[in-house]
A and B are shown apart, each in its own frame.
Chain A
Amino acid sequence: MSVSLSPSADRLPTGIPAPEDLEEGTSLWKDAWHRLAKNRLAVFGGSVLIILAVACIVGPWLSPYGYEDNNLNNTFSPPSGAHWLGTDQLGRDLLVRLLVGGRISIGVGLCATFVALTIGVVYGAVAGFFGGKIDSLMMRIVDIMYALPFTIFVILLMVFFGRDIWLLFLAIGAVEWLTMARIVRGQIMSLKKMEFIEAARSIGLGKRRIIFRHMIPNILGPIIVYTTLTIPAVMLLEAFLSFLGLGVQPPLSSWGVLIKDGAEKMEEYPWLLMFPGVVFSLTLFSLNFLGDGLRDALDVRSSKD
């Protein structure tokens, strides 16, 4: 832990640091950033994610092919100089479809992360902290949301609002915070009994400050781990929703849909499964390295390095 003790000229004569020097410690986040930057795997993961995201945004403009351009004279062509990753059953270029599909999949992943981290964490923390009747009521609402039939909810959305990509985000957002809320609640409940929380209470800190400043930083580990598990799950859930008719419609695609289509032809045309699968796995592995690095960097208890 590096605590900055900058030598300053205007020290008090007794050698006691001036008050402004006392305020100057490194914050949790600044400290974590330094530790993260030292973690090579995490930096690698983060870099890969940024490169992939930029490629998905910029790549399709640079490609000579459009994602919906059919070429029925050139179907199922293996990877070649003209089509780096080969073509599919309609002769469409797989690379550009993969990049365009990445926009959807990354968007879905970001949406789920956002919902889980905001609604899920706050909801779970509040329920776990207050306990009693508030907790009972909040958790029974979660039970109800879990049990409502998701397929019917999706069909209803489709019927009332038509096929719109934004509904996909809405449907995923509606369910993806539930498990996070339960995990956070469980952790907060056990944290509540720890001595340092009692200490925080006894010096009269407000409830909001105790929750956000003292409790949530202590459970960032499980939160990050579960987030890195949520992202792949929703990217695949999107493939299921697209199968139900919500989500991406052909000729548009996503990683989940490309993998699903590739799986049906994996023996004859393996590249149709292999390349989307590799990009998908690469993304998730990078995400995981970054997540593990973040977890270690934010660990408030470990005092190593």
Chain B
Amino acid sequence: MFRFIARRLLETIPVLLIIITATFFMIRFVPGGPFTSEKAVSPEIKANLEAHYGLDKPLYQQYFDYLGSLMKGDFGPSFKYPNRTVNEIIADKLPVSLELGLTSLVVALILGITLGVIAAIKRNTWMDYFSSAIAMTGICIPTFVLGPLLVLVFAIHLGWFNASGWYTSYDRVLPAATLGLVYSAYVARLTRGGMLEILNQDYIRTARAKGASEFRVIFRHALRGGLLPVVSFLGPAIAGILTGSFVIETIFQIPGLGREFVNSAFNRDYTLVLGTVILYASLIIVLNLVVDVVQVWLNPKLKFD
């Protein structure tokens, strides 16, 4: 297993390099630059600014300079936020997104797996339809409707929470519920599907024949295999959930990283785009590696090759 993980970690180096290179040149192909804005900047000031940030050098030179500073762990200065480095911005905003993401993830997993397992073992009864209906409601109601709806009911009419902001721990409830409910719907559907596949297998019949209790059959034998599709889905989903959601952070005015993914592209904030992309890519790669390890752990027939 350690050889498998070591080899995969070695493979991430070329993968990251390709992602960085592609992103670096992709964003430079987009017309406009960080200093073209509605406010007309005089050509001299613009030239000075570009010289200050090294944008006047040839592109390949900038590319190698960037890789060089990256090796030292320096993501460079932000173009849009004056006097701030990308490292500082990420260090500032990532913990907020992580906190919201982890809370939502816990909500999504507990709710989703419970609903999915109930739906599968009580297949085609009212309990199945009921939990499937809850899951479908979560999928049908997009975050940009569910968020304002929860605000309207629980913040404005009932006055239990603040409508937006990120100050007290109460402020975490509505955004985490919004994000968690949406993901729990996906988890529930995939769990139900995966469990139904497994419950027909011979080894479940064997377990029952041995006299294992129904609880043991479900949680010890069936759930392991039934969660396989969920695990594949969760790799990229967790990377997305942890790096913040543009919609949720906009609705609830949360100072997280999700908004920077979209805004930095619009602002042509080259270094911030690259910083967020590298962060997201690393998370994707690590989580997909974790998924592959967990898959082997869940399915004893698989081996690390």
- A residues apposed to B, CB below 8 Å: 131-132, 136, 139-140, 143-144, 146-149, 151-153, 155-156, 159, 178-179, 182-183, 185-187, 189-190, 193, 221-222, 224-226, 228-229, 232-233, 236, 239-240, 244, 256, 259-260, 262-264, 266-267, 273, 277, 280-281, 284-285, 288, 292, 295, 299, 301-302
From A292, which residue of chain B is reached at the shortest CB distance?
Answer: B132
- Say yes or no: B190 contacts A146, CB within 8 Å: no
Residues on the A chain within 8 Å of B255, using CB: none
Q: Is there a chain A Cβ closer than 8 Å to B277's Cβ?
A: yes
Known interface pairs A151-B265, A288-B136; A263-B148 also in contact (CB < 8 Å): yes
- B284's contact among A147, A225, A280, by CB below 8 Å, is which? A147
Residues on the B chain within 8 Å of A140, using CB: 11, 14-15
A141 to chain B, nearest CB (A): 9
The secondary-structure label for the interface of chain A is helix
Q: Is there a chain A Cβ closer than 8 Å to B78's Cβ?
A: no
From B15, which residue of chain A is reached at the shortest CB distance?
Answer: A140
- B residues apposed to A, CB below 8 Å: 11, 14-15, 18-19, 22-23, 26-27, 29-31, 132, 136-137, 139-142, 144-145, 148-149, 152, 186, 189-190, 192-194, 196-197, 200-201, 225, 228-229, 231-233, 235-236, 239, 246-247, 261-262, 265-266, 273, 276-277, 280-281, 284-285, 288, 291, 295, 299, 301-302, 305
From B152, which residue of chain A is reached at the shortest CB distance?
Answer: A267
- Say yes or no: B11 contacts A136, CB within 8 Å: yes
Q: Which 10 A-B pairs have the closest CB atoms?
A: A147-B281, A225-B193, A281-B140, A193-B301, A151-B265, A186-B232, A183-B232, A222-B229, A301-B200, A263-B145
Residues on the B chain within 8 Å of A178, using CB: 236
Known interface pairs A156-B30, A302-B200; A147-B280 also in contact (CB < 8 Å): yes
Residues on the A chain within 8 Å of B280, using CB: 147
Q: List 21 A-B contacts (CB under 8 A).
A: A132-B305, A144-B18, A146-B239, A148-B26, A149-B273, A152-B23, A178-B236, A179-B233, A182-B235, A183-B232, A186-B231, A186-B232, A190-B225, A221-B196, A224-B193, A232-B140, A259-B145, A260-B144, A264-B148, A266-B149, A266-B152
Given the complex of chains A and B, what is the CA–CA distance between A140 and B15 in angstroms?
7
Given the complex of chains A and B, what is the CA–CA distance between A179 and B284 in angstroms?
12
A300 to chain B, nearest CB (A): 10
- Say yes or no: A155 contacts B30, CB within 8 Å: yes
Given the complex of chains A and B, what is the CA–CA distance between A143 and B80 in angstroms?
29
Given the complex of chains A and B, what is the CA–CA distance between A70 and B38 in angstroms?
32
- Say yes or no: A149 contacts B277, CB within 8 Å: yes
B223 to chain A, nearest CB (A): 15
- Say yes or no: A295 contacts B11, CB within 8 Å: no
B115 to chain A, nearest CB (A): 14
Residues on the A chain within 8 Å of B136, using CB: 281, 284-285, 288
Given the complex of chains A and B, what is the CA–CA distance between A266 and B145 in angstroms?
9
